[in-house]
Amino acid sequence: MTNKANRQVCDVDIRDLKTKEPFMYFDTANTTTQSLTGESVNAMARGAKRISFQNPLDGTATIVAQIMPIKFYAMMSNGEIESDGIYADKKVIKCETAGELTVPAGTVTDSVFVYPTDEFANDELLIKGTVSGTKFTAAELTVGEEFEVGYIVKRTGGVAKVSFNNKKAP
């Protein structure tokens, strides 16, 4: 059994102001704060304030939560949630066939780096070999031995990715 807890303070309901359509809803916010300010500008007549004009309200809303939906991060970027992506991974893989290791499907071919156990990223002990499909081949690989393998995986489904950069500012 896994123990999980979160204080529920506020239900966050963000909507499109024009259509009233819900954009995002979550009820796991720990704290929320709003700060609104507005100033009046006065027209003067003979040194006295005659007419007051209200400037538009300025404000900040702050949401603090331990759990955020991916749409929240998309809202801070350009609103796009991509369904493909790449990420780095590292696993200990046991050699089942002499001279080869099986790497996960989706591994980018030129991104596989193999090291003896507990020597990951030690350039002097890098095991050089070739990759074809899901097989890494090198003469130094012996059956029953475990190796630390670092690689980049490309996924084209089952991924929710939001990018933050200068070109995707809201």
Binned average pLDDT, 10 residues per bin, the chain of 170 residues: 60 84 81 83 85 85 79 80 91 96 93 96 95 95 96 89 73
For residue 61, being part of any structural domain is answered with yes
Q: Are 129 and 138 in contact (CB under 8 A)?
A: yes
Q: Are residues 106 and 61 in the same domain?
A: no
Alpha-carbon torsion, ordered 20, 26, 29, 34, to 10 deg: 0
Range of the domain at 59: 10-68
Q: Are residues 57 and 105 in the same domain?
A: no
Query: In whole angstroms, how large is the CA radius of gyration of the chain?
Result: 28
Whats the size of the chain, residue-wise?
Answer: 170
Q: Are 121 and 158 in contact (CB under 8 A)?
A: no
Residue carrying the six token digits 């590292």: 90
Q: Are 71 and 92 in contact (CB under 8 A)?
A: no
Give the model's pLDDT for residue 28.
77
Give the model's pLDDT for residue 6.
54
Give the model's pLDDT for residue 168.
63
Q: How far apart are CA 64 and CA 72, in angstroms?
A: 12
Q: Are residues 92 and 134 in the same domain?
A: yes
Q: Are residues 64 and 103 in the same domain?
A: no
Q: How many domains does the chain have?
A: 2
Per-residue model confidence as pLDDT tens digits over 20-58? 888 888 777 777 788 888 888 888 888 888 888 888 888
Distance (Å) of CA 30 to CA 9, 70, 170: 5, 17, 25
Give the model's pLDDT for residue 67.
72
For residue 150, being part of any structural domain is answered with yes
Q: Are residues 114 and 56 in the same domain?
A: no
Residue ending a domain, choose from 40, 68, 96 = 68
Q: Are residues 92 and 62 in the same domain?
A: no
Q: Are residues 122 and 60 in the same domain?
A: no
